[in-house]
Amino acid sequence: MLNKNSWIPHSEDTHFSIHNLPFGIFSVGSNQKRVGIAIGEQIVDMAVVSALELFKDQPIDQQVFKEDTLNSFIALGKPITNEVRIKVQNWLMEDQSPLKEHEHILIDQSAATLHMPIHIGDYTDFYSSLEHATNVGKMFRGPENPLLPNWKHLPVGYHGRASSIVESGIPIHRPTGQVLPKEASSPEFHASSQLDFELEMAFVIGKENRLGQPVSLADAENHIFGMVLFNDWSARDIQKWEYVPLGPFLGKSFASSISPWIVTMEALDPFRVKGPVQEPQVLPYLQFQGPYNFDIGLKVSLTPPEGNDNILCTTNFKHMYWNMAQQLAHHTVNGCNLRVGDLMASGTISGPEPKNYGSMLELSWGGTKPIILDDGMERTFVENYDTITLYGLAEKPGIKVGFGETRTKILPTIYG
């Protein structure tokens, strides 16, 4: 594993090493969208590769590589999608490689446009970081009992809005809505003044379960194709007024942003770690043994207009209290059916120290502690024309598996 190397030149710092090989959807110029695999600074054009009949031994309809989302490819199932990835990995390492025989197989990423990689039918957002749930509970309900009684017994979640999930690079307009001013008894209508990011990761469902048939925890990871970075944009002032009793609604549904490359679970396998001890013990359907968490370094930067990138937080996906297998087992325990391309987000990923907090709400402690940027300007929430970028990278000696970035600029409200 450690000695793997590709004949494609790439920097040691690349997120897209030979160990990674994430899948995405790209286009060049006015050509149609198609499936690609990232390697270094380049993309392997899978539509061209399949046209060379290199997969003729497998039951793959070549059309899946020419579609404008990955859903049909993912639906082939892990035995086939893993074999495709391993074949490409071998071809990228062999001296006598069939990929060297055709000049249009490799595309510079700088010449390509990346698109939404999947059609997302349904999107669920969990709330699985103990530190984040504790911080928000302290601010919204008070410091005595920040966690609600259910929190350590089940992975709390809600059904989010799939239609407004966009890829990195698409700007977002500040939402407008109902806000209850301090000390007031009735709401006002204006642009949100507490626009926030949430640093999250999300997993893509790769195998459906039938309605009425729960997925066991032991089988859960067989239903996960891969992961992306996820920014769950949140308007805290709108959220605070609307969220009782049914949870988040318009304070969240205006937009979420994802990274364009889907990193497979197989690429992430070397980064498995044990999660936090769960006490009290969970019910049997949520019990597990072994390493179900993943060591993935995460950070967020804020770039003001004309300014520099300011790193606001650094944390790690390994801190999550509830793991993805538990989230999936819980999601389906009532018989709910998940479909290929559904997206399950982790909830804000915070950590034990203040620098690990994964939202402005926590970093500025509800707007009471301004964050000082390198140019001396202050922020408590995200301002117009600020750019927020999420980064994710799993690394150990000899292996780097990265997610690239999710970069989003905030524009003024379009309302009125």
Catalytic residues: 132
Touching Mn ion, residues 246-305 (CB under 5 A): none
Rounded to whole angstroms, how far apart are CA atoms 106 and 65?
A: 15
Rounded to whole angstroms, how far apart are CA atoms 77 and 72?
A: 10
Contact predicate 263/117, CB 8 Å: no
Indicate whether 242 belongs to the interface with Mn ion (CB under 5 A): no
Site map for Mn ion, 152-191, x if CB under 5 A? ----------------------------------------
Contact predicate 77/60, CB 8 Å: no
Q: Is 53 left (phi over 0), alpha (psi -120 to 50) or beta?
A: left
Beta bridge mates, 302:
310, 388
Least distance (Å) between residue 400 CB and Mn ion:
27
Cβ proximity to Mn ion: between 232 and 386 the closer is 232
Cβ proximity to Mn ion: between 21 and 136 the closer is 136
With CB under 5 A as the contact rule, the residue among 45, 125, 131, 242 that binds Mn ion is 125
Cβ proximity to Mn ion: between 98 and 247 the closer is 247
Least distance (Å) between residue 4 CB and Mn ion:
36
Cβ proximity to Mn ion: between 125 and 342 the closer is 125
H-only helix segments in 54-129: 71-74, 78-91
Q: What angle (nearest 5°) sits at the alpha carbon of residue 173, between those of residues 171 and 176?
A: 165
Cβ proximity to Mn ion: between 19 and 161 the closer is 161
Indicate whether 198 belongs to the interface with Mn ion (CB under 5 A): yes
Least distance (Å) between residue 347 CB and Mn ion:
5
Question: 394, 286, 300: which is closest to 330 by C-alpha?
Answer: 286
Least distance (Å) between residue 265 CB and Mn ion:
22
User: Where do we find the tokens 């309809």?
Assistant: 61
Indicate whether 131 belongs to the interface with Mn ion (CB under 5 A): no
Measured from each CB, the residue nearest to Mn ion is 232
Contacts of 289 (CB under 8 A, 6+ apart): none
Least distance (Å) between residue 345 CB and Mn ion:
6
Segment interacting with Mn ion, rule: CB under 5 A, options 65-73, 87-95, 180-188, 192-200: 192-200
Least distance (Å) between residue 381 CB and Mn ion:
16
Rounded to whole angstroms, how far apart are CA atoms 316 and 131?
A: 12
Site map for Mn ion, 24-63, x if CB under 5 A? ----------------------------------------
Segment interacting with Mn ion, rule: CB under 5 A, options 89-97, 120-128, 142-150, 304-312: 120-128
3-class SS of residue 175? coil
Touching Mn ion, residues 218-237 (CB under 5 A): 232
Q: Is 341 left (phi over 0), alpha (psi -120 to 50) or beta?
A: left
Indicate whether 362 belongs to the interface with Mn ion (CB under 5 A): no
Cβ proximity to Mn ion: between 221 and 232 the closer is 232
Cβ proximity to Mn ion: between 26 and 322 the closer is 322
Least distance (Å) between residue 109 CB and Mn ion:
29
Show the beta-strand stretches assigned E in 4-61: 23-27, 34-39, 42-45
Provide φ and ψ at 188, rounded to 5°: -115, 165
Beta bridge mates, 273:
293
Contacts of 112 (CB under 8 A, 6+ apart): 26, 27, 28, 36, 43
Binding residues for Mn ion (CB under 5 A): 125, 198, 232
